[in-house]
A and B are shown apart, each in its own frame.
Chain A
Amino acid sequence: MIKKSLITASVLSIFALICAALLGVVNFFTSPVIKAHEEENIKKSISLVCPLYDSNTMDITTNEDSKAKTTYLVSSKETEELLYVIYIVDATGYASTIEMMISVDKDYKITGYKVLSSAETKGDIKSHDFNMIGSNNLDSFDTLAGSTYSSKAVKKCFKLALSYAKEEFEGGQK
Chain B
Amino acid sequence: MNMAQVITILISTIFIENIILSQFLGICSFLGVSKKRSSAIGMSISVLVVIILATLVTWLLYNYVLVVFDLVYLKTIIFILVIASLVQIIEIIIKKFAPSLYKSLGIYLPLITTNCAILGIALKTVNYGYGFGTMLLYAIGSGIGYFVVMYIFSVIREELEQRNLPKAMKGIPIALVVASILAILFSRYVGIAPKVEDEEEALRETYVIENDIVEDENIIYYDHNYEDLNI
Q: Which residues of A contact B (CB under 8 A)?
A: 16, 19-20, 23-24, 27, 31, 67, 91, 93-98, 118-122, 137-139, 146-147, 149-150, 152-153, 156, 159-160, 162-163, 166-167
Contact = CB atoms under 8 A, between A and B. Distances in A.
Given A94-B220, A95-B222, A152-B219, A160 B214 contact: yes
B194 to A, nearest CB: 12
Given A139-B207, A159-B207, A20 B227 contact: no
B201 interface: no
B221 A96 contact: yes
Taking chain A's interface residues, is the majority helix, strand, or loop, or is none over half, making it mixed?
helix
B14 to A, nearest CB: 12
B213 A122 contact: no
13 contacts: A23-B73, A93-B220, A94-B134, A94-B221, A95-B223, A122-B228, A139-B207, A159-B209, A160-B213, A163-B209, A163-B211, A163-B213, A166-B209
A16 B213 contact: no
A166 B81 CA distance: 48
Contacts of B196: 149, 152
A10 B81 CA distance: 15
Contacts of B221: 91, 93-94, 96, 98, 149-150, 152-153, 156
A95 B12 contact: yes
A144 B65 CA distance: 43
Contacts of B222: 93-96, 149
A23 B207 contact: no
Given A94-B220, A149-B222, A156-B219, A121 B228 contact: yes
A149 B224 contact: yes
B231 to A, nearest CB: 16
Given A93-B219, A96-B221, A152-B196, 16 more contacts: A20-B77, A94-B8, A94-B221, A96-B222, A98-B221, A120-B225, A137-B207, A139-B207, A149-B196, A149-B224, A150-B223, A153-B221, A159-B213, A160-B213, A162-B209, A163-B210
B227 A146 contact: yes
A167 B207 contact: no
Contacts of A160: 213-214
B77 A97 contact: no
A121 B17 CA distance: 13
Contacts of A31: 73
Contacts of B220: 93-94
A147 B134 CA distance: 24
Contact of A67 (B8, B81, B214, B217): B214
Contacts of A139: 207
Q: Quick one: which of A19, A27, A93, A121 has the most chain B CB within 10 A?
A: A93
A20 B75 CA distance: 10
Contacts of B81: 16
A20 B78 CA distance: 10
A58 B196 CA distance: 42
